[in-house]
Structure 1
Amino acid sequence: MSLRILVLTNLFPTRWDPHRGAFNRQQFERLGQRHEVEVITAVPLPERLRGRGAGEPLKIAGLRLRTFVFVYLPRVARSLHALFWAVSLLAQQGWHLLRGRYDCVLASWAYPDAAAAGWLARRMGWPYVVKVHGSDLNVQAEDPARRPQIRKALVEARAVVAVSRALADKAVALGVAPARVHVVYNGVDHARFSPGSQPEARRRLDLPGDVPVLLYVGNLKASKGCMDLLEAFAPVAEARPGAQLVFVGAGECRDALRARADELGLGAAVRLVGATPHADLPDWFRSATLLCLPSHNEGVPNVVLEAMACGIPVVATRVGGIPEVVPGEAGLLVPVRDRDALAEALVEAIALPWDTGRILEHARQFSWERNLQSLSDILEAAAADSPLPTSLPT
């Protein structure tokens, strides 16, 4: 059964931010091999004005791509962002949507995306599915003004797709019928993310060959725990002279990380790589002794799955869905914001004799093939027996 699916989200690459939402790109690109998929991505107004990274329009085989500028008031009236999102979408893409005749809408991110997309879908008579990822429920749904909007979007959706059991439980707590909540873990491209020679990877990346290399991959923002990791690295560097800490990613904490590393006398041991294409990440994983992601809240970060698929152990915080996917044979988990515990875990993880075979065996269960079959089944069920409108309702 082939569907015409409309995806509405902010979590997808654009010409202004080509590295955003790599997990969604991988999933939707594969979904486009089974169905006719159109992705309309919200580009925040400040990002559009800065023109950051603006290159040629993005083209992805099998997908029809469009964007709109999400116009809103920065730092104020966040409870109205769903309204701004919907108005921005309709003002710029309304006539296109009117002609769309979609079988199903997939809104990826609860607020403001799903709150706005759900409002539109209900008025158009389109069945819709919401995919939740992490802080959209862990953080935004805790806000008293946004929580009712998120609840309505989820409760009235045909289905809610959660990337972890922890998020699924939060959706149920919001009032969604348990039978309509589905846990679908993200997948890994095992052809790309696989074990390889650490010495060769380090040589290509200009990393020393005989010292521990701790790797962080993700946005450089405080809620991802990057500052916690830097502080926890100081005793590691003292215990293991020559150890390196590598941050792969971009974000608001970059300058603070560099300044603090210099204050701690770790400037030479800390490397800030910047944003990196997803296709280049395997070498960074293969070069690492371990991956560390001390986030304050999470769904299930794909970098954790990809690191394990390369045979690399993980040190992470015990938040969100991370405990569901990182068993004891694949990593160590610590309490959130506990820098002392994090430092101890890093030192311990460096010294442990990890069984790469067991890590790889565990990682193999996370595949895009399994993910896409589950998601496709959910979307097909949502679209079944749904009449298609011919015009915008008044």
Structure 2
Amino acid sequence: MNQYISEQCRHLPERIRTRVYSVAVPPGTGSIRFALAMLVALKQMLLFPFRRRPDIVHVHSAQWHSFYQSSWYVLIASFVWRRPVVLHVHGSSFDEFLDVDSLPIQLLQSAVFSASDVVVALSDGWADVLEEHIDPRKVVVLHNAVDVSDYDPSFSVSPVRISFVSNHIERKGIRELVDAVDQLAEEESLDITIAGKGSLSHLAEDLADSRAGVEYAGFISEESKRELLNQSTVNVLPTYAEGVPIAILEAMAGGNAIVSTDVGGIPSVVDETNGVLVEPGDADELADALRTLLSDPDRIRSMAKESRRRVEMSHSWRTVSDDLTELYDSLVPRERETADAPPATDEPYASK
């Protein structure tokens, strides 16, 4: 979400001025950290209604606590400020959140969706999920995007280079990746770089220590990440749950065939023409998919070029910022005015 909001503001036309109201809280665990986070969040909520009113409020939200926090801003913007609200739904498990049995949570969801003028989905699949709970006329698909010009893919398959760039946590499938690579390393030489950090990083470190051709890069900078994706031609993300991952779009911009899972919005950007999708949690199927691709470098190159073409066509900021601008413009004439409301600025909030 942070990355999206930053890029969103950077790529909008100059005539649209933006102000970001960050609702980030101090990270960490434990009762003291939790209490501090609650105090910071409460302060942010209490100060928000007294800020200058924009023309539009764009609220970014995921599931559970993110939604509870975002609800305040949606309701204040709609019922106190009387401004149009765009609720932008991110989050890998928002479908599970919508199906919760709790009546109070269901009522809150209904109130927030009713107060929102537009609810943004990341893909057609996610739009279908949202439309089961929201007036379909409110749901709009707005793709995640990357700055394609930041990438200069090599499309090299001599040798085939494989990359994984993500958090080393259970949900991202790092265990399955390590198991699959370990299987393949017994059969043939590999060239794979595993980047990122997390609670399960020791799995990648141990694999790199025991298998030739496996590099554990740890946390890498944005520049190093782009270079890695430019030089690799197969990117792997065996995730358990996602919206539409920026990580996959970045790998596509870098000219990679994608090996991932059939979850969330991933099938909206990856199919048989630019990658392979497997079941989450299945290391053997993941190994088979990689094995099949490695045996056909020409297929990998074709997939990598299709990935680049696809992200240029539908997921570049040039295209998405035009769609977002059109969405903003459609909302301003429908601004709900009150007699005592102060003049609005021409600035939409991008709130998270």
TM-score, length-normalised on structure 2? 0.81
2:45 is the alignment partner of 1:120: no
2:292 is the alignment partner of 1:311: no
Partner of 1:383: 332
Q: Give the Cα–Cα distance (whole angstroms) in 2 for the partners of residues 236 and 298 of structure 1.
A: 26
Match of 1:154 among 92, 110, 113: 113
For residues 289-315 of structure 1, give each alpha carbon's deviation from its aligned partner in whole angstroms, at most 9, with x where no partner exists: 300011111111122222222221000
- Equivalent runs, 1:211-290 vs 2, <5 Å: 211-241=159-189, 243-258=190-205, 261=207, 266=210, 269-290=213-234
> Which residue type is aligned with residue 386 of structure 1?
R
> Which residue type is aligned with residue 380 of structure 1?
D
2:88 is the alignment partner of 1:141: no
- Equivalent runs, 1:1-394 vs 2, <5 Å: 11-12=1-2, 22-31=3-12, 33-47=14-28, 72=34, 87-91=42-46, 93-94=47-48, 97-110=49-62, 111-121=67-77, 122-145=79-102, 146-174=105-133, 176-196=134-154, 211-241=159-189, 243-258=190-205, 261=207, 266=210, 269-352=213-296, 353-354=298-299, 355=302, 356-365=304-313, 366-384=315-333, 385-387=335-337, 389-390=341-342
Gaps of 5+ in 1: 1-10, 13-21, 50-70, 75-80, 200-209
Task: Give yes or no for contact 2:25–2:41 (8 Å, CA) kept in 1.
Answer: no
> Which residue type is aligned with residue 382 of structure 1?
L
Task: Give yes or no for contact 2:23–2:41 (8 Å, CA) kept in 1.
Answer: no
Partner of 1:203: none
Task: Give yes or no for contact 1:127–1:157 (8 Å, CA) kept in 2.
Answer: yes
Q: Give the Cα–Cα distance (whole angstroms) in 1 for the partners of residues 211 and 10 of structure 2.
A: 40
Task: Give yes or no for contact 2:155–2:256 (8 Å, CA) kept in 1.
Answer: no
Q: Give the Cα–Cα distance (whole angstroms) in 2 for the partners of residues 85 and 158 of structure 1.
A: 28
Q: Give the Cα–Cα distance (whole angstroms) in 2 for the partners of residues 256 and 138 of structure 1.
A: 30
Q: Give the Cα–Cα distance (whole angstroms) in 2 for the partners of residues 103 and 136 of structure 1.
A: 31
Task: Give yes or no for contact 1:132–1:167 (8 Å, CA) kept in 2.
Answer: no
Q: Aligned pair in 2 of structure 1 residues 361, 100: CA closer, same or farther (>3 Å)?
A: same
Q: Give the Cα–Cα distance (whole angstroms) in 2 for the partners of residues 32 and 72 of structure 1.
A: 39
Matched residues, number: 326
Displacement, 1:274? Answer: 3.1
Q: Give the Cα–Cα distance (whole angstroms) in 1 for the partners of residues 101 and 80 of structure 2.
A: 25
What SS does the corresponding residue of 1:24 show, helix, strand or coil?
helix
What SS does the corresponding residue of 1:118 show, helix, strand or coil?
helix
Of the two structures, which has the highest relative contact order with CA contacts closer than 8 Å and spacing of 6 or more?
2
For residues 345-379 of structure 1, give each alpha carbon's deviation from its aligned partner in whole angstroms, at most 9, with x where no partner exists: 01112222221443433332122121111112222
> Which residue type is aligned with residue 245 of structure 1?
I
RMSD across aligned C-alpha pairs, in angstroms?
3.0
What SS does the corresponding residue of 1:252 show, helix, strand or coil?
coil
Task: Give yes or no for contact 2:117–2:138 (8 Å, CA) kept in 1.
Answer: yes
Displacement, 1:276? Answer: 3.0
Percent of aligned pairs with the same residue? 24
Displacement, 1:325? Answer: 0.9
Q: Give the Cα–Cα distance (whole angstroms) in 1 for the partners of residues 223 and 108 of structure 2.
A: 37
Task: Give yes or no for contact 1:298–1:322 (8 Å, CA) kept in 2.
Answer: yes
Q: Give the Cα–Cα distance (whole angstroms) in 1 for the partners of residues 59 and 161 of structure 2.
A: 38
> Which residue type is aligned with residue 219 of structure 1?
N
What SS does the corresponding residue of 2:235 show, helix, strand or coil?
strand
Partner of 1:66: none
What SS does the corresponding residue of 2:276 show, helix, strand or coil?
strand
For residues 309-364 of structure 1, give each alpha carbon's deviation from its aligned partner in whole angstroms, at most 9, with x where no partner exists: 22210000011111111121210111121221111001112222221443433332
Task: Give yes or no for contact 1:129–1:382 (8 Å, CA) kept in 2.
Answer: no
For residues 129-174 of structure 1, give each alpha carbon's deviation from its aligned partner in whole angstroms, at most 9, with x where no partner exists: 1111232513433444445433432332000111111211121112
Q: Give the Cα–Cα distance (whole angstroms) in 2 for the partners of residues 307 and 157 of structure 1.
A: 33
Displacement, 1:85? Answer: 7.8
Q: Aligned pair in 2 of structure 1 residues 32, 268: CA closer, same or farther (>3 Å)?
A: farther
What SS does the corresponding residue of 1:327 show, helix, strand or coil?
coil
> Which residue type is aligned with residue 138 of structure 2?
R
What SS does the corresponding residue of 1:349 show, helix, strand or coil?
helix
Q: Give the Cα–Cα distance (whole angstroms) in 2 for the partners of residues 133 and 340 of structure 1.
A: 30
Q: Give the Cα–Cα distance (whole angstroms) in 1 for the partners of residues 204 and 25 of structure 2.
A: 25
Q: Give the Cα–Cα distance (whole angstroms) in 2 for the partners of residues 147 and 298 of structure 1.
A: 22
Task: Give yes or no for contact 2:45–2:72 (8 Å, CA) kept in 1.
Answer: no
For residues 233-267 of structure 1, give each alpha carbon's deviation from its aligned partner in whole angstroms, at most 9, with x where no partner exists: 111111222x14322223332235435x37xx736
